Chains A and B, each alone.
Chain A
Amino acid sequence: MRRIVIRRCLQIIPLIFAVIVMNFVLIHLAPGSLFDVMTSEQQITDPKMLDQLRHTYGVDQPVWMQLVKYIWSVLHLDLGYSYRQNAPVFDVIAQQLPATLILMLAATVIALLVGVTAGVLASIKVNTIWDNLISLGAVFFFAAPSFWLGIMMTVLFAVKLGWFPVGGMRTIGVDQSAIGTVLDIMHHLVLPATALGLFYAATFARVMRASMLEVARLDFVRTARAKGLSGARVVIAHVMRNALLPIVTLLGLQLGTMLGGSVVIEAVFSWPGIGSLLFDSVMSRNFPMVLGVLVLGSLLVAVCNAAVDLVYLKLDPRIRAR
C-alpha cells in the first residue's frame, strides 16, 4: 500500500510539469495576450506607460524565459501574481476552490447514490417496466445538457415552488451561527449538485446494471443462493460488492470531467467556484491564473485517482497480490 502511494506521488511530478508546459504553449499559441487585453481594456496608449507595464507583467522577456521562471516559482510552491485580479494567484484560487470542491463532492455523492441504487434496481427487476423506466431516465439525464437541466430545475423548484434559492452559495447579508451556515449552504447546494450529479448518475446506473447482471451469473452467486442466503443478502454482499469495481474505475476517471462540467453548472447557479475564474482567465489570456487553476486541478485529480486505487484494494484484495 505504501508503495502505491509513493509511486503515485512520484507520478504527479512529471504530470504537473507536462500540464504546465503544454498549457503554457497552448495559451501562447492563441492570438492575443494578457498584455493586449489589459492595455486595450484600460485604454492605455502612452508608449512610456506601455513599456512600464510590459516590464511589470514580465512580457518584455523571451517566452522560454517566462516559462523557466514560472516553473522555477512553482517548484518553490509559488503560483505567481495575477495583475488582472491584482492579487496573488494562490489567494484568488484559494477563495474559490472550496466552493467547487463542495459542489463536486456533493454531486459525486448524489451520482453514486442515485446511480448505484438505480442500477441495482434495474438489474434485479431486469426486463420489467422498472428496468425500462430507469433506462429511459438514464438516457434522458445523460442526453439533457446540464445547463438546460439547471435552468429547468431553477424555474420549477426556485421560481414556481420557491423551495430553493435561485443561485449563489449562501444567503447574503445575514449573520448566522456555524450550524446555520452549514444548513444554509446545503440548502443552496441541492439544485446545482443534483443538476451536475444526475448526468453522472445516468452513466453509473447503466454501468452498474450491466455489471450486476454479469456478476449475478457467476458461480459463487449460485453457491451463495444454494447455501440458503436471503435474496437481499446475496444481492448486497455478494453481487453488489463485486459489481462495484467498474463504478470505482469510472468514478476515478470522471472526477476530471466533473471539474469541467462544474464550469457550466456554476454559471447557471452563480456558484462561486473555480469554473468562472478559469473561463475568464482563458478569455483574457491570463496565463498565470489559468496555469494556477490547472496545476491545482491536476493535483486534485491525481490525488483522487490515488485514493481510488486505494479503494480498489479494499474492494478486491486480489489486486494487492499482483
Chain B
Amino acid sequence: MSGFTRRDFLMTTAGVAAAAYVGPSFAATETPKRGGTLVGTWGGFEPQSLFVPAGGGSSPYFTCTKVLERLIRLTVDLKFEPVLATEITPAADFRSYTIKLRPNVTWHDGKPLTSEDLVYNAMEYWKPISAGVTLDALESAEATDPLTVVLKFKVPVPEFFLKSVLAGKAGLVIPKHVYAGSNIITNPVNNTPIGTGPFKVKEWVRGSHVEMSRNDAYWNAGMPYVDKLVIRWWRDPASRSAAFEAGQLDIGTFNPIPMPDIARLTATKKVVAESKGYSNSAWITSVEFNQRREIFKKREVRQALMMGIDRQFIAETVFFGRARPSIGALHFSNSIFFTKDVQDYPFDIKKAAALLDAAGYPVKSGSRFKMSLVSAGWFEENVKIGQYLKQAFEDLDITVELAIPDRATSLKRIYTDYDYDVAVSNNSASIEPIPQTTQYYTTDGIVKGAAFRNATGYSNPKMDETVSKMAIETDEPKRIAMVREFDKLAAIDAPILPMVDLEPVTIVRTDVRNHSLTADFMGESWAEVWLDR
C-alpha cells in the first residue's frame, strides 16, 4: 500500500476503464474452481433486517452487499473498478457527471437494469436517505438513453469524492420497480432484498443463518465461483474459534475470534489472518473532549490529556498488537491522504502535568479538577480503555468518574445529551475524508441527536473554511494538500482525536481463494471468491 504514488492516483481517477472487469490481475495466476459452499460470518451479531436502506451498521451492510451492488468499487490498492457502471466521466467544469451503465444486467426477478433505476436511486434513495448531506449538491439526475444518466450538481464536485460516495456504503443500487411508490425504509422486501448481485437470498432463518444461492444470470459470466453462500452468526467469539477448528466455518471478517486465539489457530496452518481489505472502512478509537465545559474548552488541557495517554500500551495490551497509535485525524492505512507531518502527542506525563499547571489547573488538595469519563460500551475493548484512561488521568491528579454504559445509553449521553466531559467512542472512516472524518470537526457537523459526528461542540471558522474549500476543489494534488492542511489543524486543536487506529483481521481457511482484494472487503459481493478443494 505504501507503494501508491501520486501518479497512480491521477491515473486511476482519470476515468474508470471501460473494459469489463475480470478481477484484479494478480489473482489470475491460478484458474478458479467452480462450486462448493462458502460459509462466512463476521465478528458481530445477526442484522436486524437483511438490508437497512439508511445504513443500520456493519451487520446488515455485510449481508446485503452480497445481493445489492454498486456502480463501482475500490480495490485494495485504492483504484476504482467498474461494477454496474462502465464509465463515470466528469464534465469539464465538474458540475455534471455522465454515468454509462453496464448493458444486459438484470435484477434477480428478471427485469433489466436501466437508467430509470439509476435516476430513482440518485434522487429518491441516495440523496434523501443513504447519503444525506453528502449529496446535498446533487441537483438532478436525467436519463439520456436507456443506459446513460447525467448527474447535475449545484457546485463543482471533486471526482474522487463522487466516486467514493458511489463506491461507498451509501451507493447501493436498488430496483425502482420494487420500491417505487413505497416507503423505502419500511418496505418489507428489505428482509429478502432483490438486487443485481452474484447471490440471491434463498432463506433467512432468524437467529441462525441466511442461505444464498448462486445467481446463474449474473452479468459477469462464470461468476460467482461458489454455488452457495451461507452467512451464519455466532454470538460468542470462542464459538467461532471452535467452528473454525471443526472446519465448519470458512471465512470470518472483522475480528471474528478472540485476539489470543489468532496465534493458536494460525499455527495450525489451516487458517490465516488477513489484515488487508479494511482501508475504506477504517476503524479508529477516539477520545472526545466536550468543549461546552469550561475546562475542556482550553486547548492546552486537551493537548495535555492526549499526552497523558500511553497509546502504545493501549495498542499492545488492549488490542494484542492489532492496533497502532494514531497520528492526526486520518487512519494510517489511508495511503492517499494520510500524513505524518502533523502535531503528535507522545506519552509524556511530566510535560502533560506542566501543561495543565500552565493552563491554570494546578494540584489543589490532591486534585486538579473532576471529570466525567464516558466510554461507549459497544466494544469490549472500550471497557478496558475506559478503565485504563481512568488510571492514566488519575496519574495526572485528575479525579475521574468513569461510566461504561451500554449502546443505547452511550449514544444518548455522547451524541444526544452531550452529557460527558471526556468520551471514548469509535467510528469507521472511508478513504475520502468528507464527510465521515470532517463532520467530527466542522460546525455543521453539530447535529443534536445524530451519532458519530461533532459531539464536542468544537467550532473554528478556519476549520470550516478549509473543509468547504476541500469539498469543491477538483484539482486532485491541490485537494490532497488541503486535506493535509485540515489534518494539521485538527491535530493541533485536538477537539477529538483518534487514539489508536485499529487493524481488524479476516480469519480465513487456507483453501479459500481470491479474498480481501477490495478496500472494504466485508462490504463487497464476494463473486470472485473460490474454494480450492
Taking beta carbons and an 8 Å cutoff, which residues of A are in contact with B?
30-33, 36-37, 39-46, 49-50, 53, 56, 83-87, 92, 95-96, 99, 147, 151, 154-155, 158-159, 162, 165-170, 172-173, 266-274, 276-277, 280, 283-285
Query: Is the CB of B331 closer than 8 A to any CB of chain A?
Result: no
Give per-residue flags for B179-201: 1 if the beta carbon is below 8 A from chain A beta carbons, else 0: 00001011110110000000000
Among the 9-residue stretches B285-293, B349-357, B408-416, the one with 4 or more Cβ atoms under 8 Å from chain A is B408-416
Among the 9-residue stretches B63-71, B115-123, B241-249, B304-312, the one with 4 or more Cβ atoms under 8 Å from chain A is B241-249
Does the CB pair B208–A168 fall under 8 Å?
yes
A31 nearest in chain B by CB position: B409
Does the CB pair A44–B233 fall under 8 Å?
no
Does the CB pair A43–B132 fall under 8 Å?
yes
Query: Is the CB of B54 closer than 8 A to any CB of chain A?
Result: yes
B-side contacts of A46, CB under 8 Å: 128, 132
Query: Is the CB of B324 closer than 8 A to any CB of chain A?
Result: no
Query: Is the CB of B98 closer than 8 A to any CB of chain A?
Result: no
Query: Is the CB of B239 closer than 8 A to any CB of chain A?
Result: yes
Return the 10 tightest CB-CB contacts between A and B, nearest first.
Answer: A32-B408, A272-B207, A40-B451, A42-B54, A272-B208, A267-B235, A45-B450, A32-B412, A31-B409, A166-B243
Does the CB pair A270–B452 fall under 8 Å?
no
Seed contacts A43-B451, A49-B128, A270-B207; 17 additional CB < 8 Å A-B pairs:
A36-B416, A37-B411, A40-B416, A44-B132, A84-B48, A87-B191, A92-B206, A95-B206, A99-B207, A151-B239, A166-B239, A166-B243, A172-B209, A267-B236, A272-B205, A284-B48, A284-B407
A43 nearest in chain B by CB position: B55
18 contacts between A and B (CB under 8 A): A37-B407, A40-B449, A49-B129, A84-B48, A86-B186, A99-B207, A154-B242, A166-B243, A167-B234, A168-B208, A172-B39, A172-B208, A267-B235, A270-B234, A271-B207, A272-B205, A280-B48, A283-B406
CA distance A56 to B54 in the complex (A): 15
Question: In the complex, how many angstroms separate the beta carbon of B376 from the nearest chain A beta carbon?
Answer: 11
Does the CB pair A43–B452 fall under 8 Å?
yes
B-side contacts of A269, CB under 8 Å: 239
Say which residue of A40, A42, A154 sits within 8 Å of B52 (CB atoms): A42
CA distance A151 to B234 in the complex (A): 12
B-side contacts of A30, CB under 8 Å: 408-409
CA distance A169 to B232 in the complex (A): 12
B-side contacts of A270, CB under 8 Å: 207-208, 232-236, 239
Say which residue of B56, B412, B453 sits within 8 Å of A41 (CB atoms): B56
Query: Is the CB of B211 closer than 8 A to any CB of chain A?
Result: yes
Which B residues, 222 to 246, have Cβ-Cβ distances below 8 Å to chain A? 228, 230, 232-236, 238-239, 242-243, 245-246
CA distance A280 to B211 in the complex (A): 22
Q: A92-B206, A162-B246, A276-B207 are in contact. Are A50 and B449 (CB under 8 A)?
A: yes
B53 nearest in chain A by CB position: A42
Q: A280-B45, A283-B408 are in contact. Are A173 and B228 (CB under 8 A)?
A: yes
A263 nearest in chain B by CB position: B235
Does the CB pair B208–A84 fall under 8 Å?
no
Does the CB pair B206–A86 fall under 8 Å?
no
Question: In the complex, how many angstroms separate the beta carbon of A267 from the nearest chain B beta carbon?
Answer: 4
Say which residue of A43, A45, A162, A273 sits within 8 Å of B207 (CB atoms): A273
CA distance A284 to B46 in the complex (A): 13
B-side contacts of A280, CB under 8 Å: 45-46, 48
Query: Is the CB of B336 closer than 8 A to any CB of chain A?
Result: no
Does the CB pair B450–A36 fall under 8 Å?
no
Does the CB pair A277–B207 fall under 8 Å?
yes
Does the CB pair A169–B228 fall under 8 Å?
no
Q: A43-B451, A283-B408 are in contact. Are A172 and B128 (CB under 8 A)?
A: no
Q: A31-B405, A41-B55, A83-B186 are in contact. Are A169 and B242 (CB under 8 A)?
A: no
Give per-residue flags for B445-466: 1 if the beta carbon is below 8 A from chain A beta carbons, else 0: 0010111110000000000000
B-side contacts of A99, CB under 8 Å: 207
Query: Is the CB of B13 closer than 8 A to any CB of chain A?
Result: no
Query: Is the CB of B477 closer than 8 A to any CB of chain A?
Result: no
Does the CB pair A85–B54 fall under 8 Å?
no
Does the CB pair B209–A36 fall under 8 Å?
no
Query: Is the CB of B10 closer than 8 A to any CB of chain A?
Result: no
Does the CB pair A42–B56 fall under 8 Å?
yes
